[in-house]
A and B are shown apart, each in its own frame.
Chain A
């Protein structure tokens, strides 16, 4: 069974600072994807960034980047120049690639607050 662990239940940073959210996972599979999803207060969950396990290059999306360490099974999210709109729950998630049965396994989330 796959597990995803987020060890930081809550974090807060000042606006414009950089923050890193941690995620570790456990699997014996070799072919998988990792995701960070954002769930703003009272709003729906949206994808922030995605990483294919076979790619060594870390994914980036504007101010968001990941540090993917496959051997250590670590997948952290870095948010640069944080903005008030980044305040949300952030979930790390794991997906095994199986045709027709690709389900997400989520961590427990990190509540991030950006302080003005």
Chain B
């Protein structure tokens, strides 16, 4: 079974530029998550999709971050414009989501973003 794929693995941009990250979840997984992991901290949920609908985006800075999940499969997370404090690893995860069962989340390798 192929795992969660993310690209690019690394990205360096200047502040005020824009950047996009891509995620392909495990086939058949209904739920997709984007996390931000700042150095020295645990991952923080940015947005959660179930199929192609947003379940939770309460911690997404909507003035600069946006995300979509096309046809309930792949997802793209965009930052525009980037700030220095956006430097972090962006993790994508997916789960089968059987509902009420505490499904395991499978994580991708992450995209390390450096904003200079």
Contact = CB atoms under 8 A, between A and B. Distances in A.
Contacts of A115: none
B45 A103 contact: yes
B48 A44 contact: no
A97 interface: yes
A102 B103 contact: yes
Contacts of B103: 102
Contact of A91 (B42, B100, B102, B110): B42
A99 B110 CA distance: 27
* Interface core residue of B41, B56, B97, B102 (most chain A CB under 10 Å): B102
Contacts of B21: none
A113 B101 CA distance: 32
B104 interface: yes
Contacts, number: 60
Contacts of B55: 100-101
Contacts of B56: 101, 103
Taking each of A33, A45, A47, which has the highest tally of chain B beta carbons within 10 Å of its own beta carbon? A45
A46 B104 CA distance: 9
How many B residues touch the partner, as a band? 20 to 34
- Indicate the size class of the contact surface on chain A: 20 to 34
B61 interface: no
Contacts of A102: 95, 97, 100, 102-103
A44 B100 contact: no
A95 interface: yes
Contacts of B44: 106
B105 A44 contact: no
B42 A100 contact: no
A100 B99 contact: yes
B72 interface: no
Given A44-B3, A104-B105, A99 B100 contact: yes
11 contacts: A44-B3, A44-B109, A45-B91, A47-B104, A99-B99, A100-B55, A100-B99, A101-B56, A103-B56, A105-B45, A108-B40
Interface of B: 3-4, 33, 40-45, 48, 50, 55-56, 91, 93, 95, 97, 99-105, 107-110
6 nearest interchain CB pairs?
A: A106-B42, A33-B102, A45-B107, A99-B99, A44-B109, A44-B107
